[in-house]
Amino acid sequence: MRTMGLAGLDELVAALGRAGYEVYGPRARDGAIVLAPIAGVADLPHGVGDTQDAAFYRLRDRGDAKVFGYSTAVQGLKPVLFPAHELLWKARKTPIGFDVEDADATPPKPRAFLGARDCDLRALAVHDTVLASREFADKAYGQRREGVFVVAVTCSDPCGTCFCVSQGGSPKPQEGYDLALTELLDGDGHRFLVEVGSERGAEILAEVTTTDAPPTDTAAADAVVAEATASMGRTLDTSDLHDVMYAAADSPHWDEVAARCLACTNCTLVCPTCFCTSVEDTTDLTKSMTERHRVWDSCFGSRFSYIHGGVVRESGKSRYRQWITHKLAGYQDQFGLSGCVGCGRCITWCPAAIDITAEAAALRAGLTTGATDALETAGETR
């Protein structure tokens, strides 16, 4: 355990830059906290907090000097490591045929992330399983993921849509980081308690001015975690949730959700674990150059489930059911983990204020008549 001041945090960013990393951190931009390249502490959102609830997001003046005093950035690490738009290959017409060129094979510059929350780290672990550990691994993701350096930060101010504790997470980063910080701001000054999570983390930290952490700082950090844990804006009952979701497949509640859902795809765009994509081909006006791109897609799209002349999920009801059931149940069958990390972004950014925790609770409550048989059947299917 070490302690460093605000100047030490600036030294940390500089040390990462010298080590060859492109450093991404939180920035206040266009009325939101976004993850973007930073050059130093001056780029961080000093004294900026956020207020989030269903279909509501606003930045606010905290009235203090905290640089990590917000709950979550609009998006997690996904857009950097798994971009929304990616060139796969391009082909140029020649007098005798076509020359096909793959996307730039130059390894990308390694990235360092400053300010990642525990929910972001668990979402990263999901993508490591889904994209990098399957039989046919995503090569582009693997290249971007390799060498990533993570400086995680304890979440001291959960927002109204956070429920990471219900999903087995914590305001305090648990694993998957190189360094972890807890920001402290009290009568003893503005400082950061630092925990080392890897050898690379120790090497970088050796270039930063730190001191031995006194017991009072450790106690203060524990208090921050305890207060944040008790301040979750939402909860989700996960007991038998896998079986509840399958047992509720024919619930009339799906019609109520569909009546509100706009199929705008916001929830899947901000979700840090969604990974559905599509392929787009484009040709220039001279018909001499063709490109193939991979782009993010969403199971809420009306043609996402188009197969052999027909759409499998034509209704909004069936598409929402597919999304939430896959998140809370199907992921367990397919990957052995939950597809939801409890970050609450889908609740905040849904313009219709649809709340995944409320919908799961309503489906559970609706399992009255025949609920026992339905749950037993779902358990046997699993």
Question: Could you read off the pLDDT tens digit of each residue along the chain, which spans 382 residues?
Answer: 999 999 999 999 999 999 999 999 999 999 999 999 999 999 999 999 999 999 999 999 999 999 999 999 999 999 999 999 999 999 998 888 888 888 776 778 899 999 999 999 999 999 999 999 888 899 899 999 999 999 999 999 999 999 999 999 999 999 999 999 999 999 999 999 999 999 999 999 999 999 999 999 999 999 999 999 999 999 999 999 999 999 999 999 999 999 999 999 999 999 999 999 999 999 999 889 999 999 999 999 988 888 888 888 888 899 999 999 999 999 999 999 999 999 999 999 999 999 999 999 999 999 864 444 544 554 454 4
CA separation for the pair 210, 194 (Å, rounded):
9
Residue 298 and residue 326: Cα distance in Å, rounded? 13
For residue 372, the model assigns a pLDDT of 46
Instruction: Give the rounded distance of the alpha carbon of 337 from its chain centre.
Output: 15
**Contact of 169 with 238, CB cutoff 8 Å:** no
316-325 vs 356-365: helix axis angle to the nearest 10? 100
Could you tell me the pTM of the whole model?
0.91
Q: What pLDDT sits at residue 373?
A: 52
61, 201, 223, 277 from 179: Cα distances, Å: 28, 5, 20, 32
- C-alpha dist (Å) from residue 307 to 304, 310, 312: 9, 5, 7
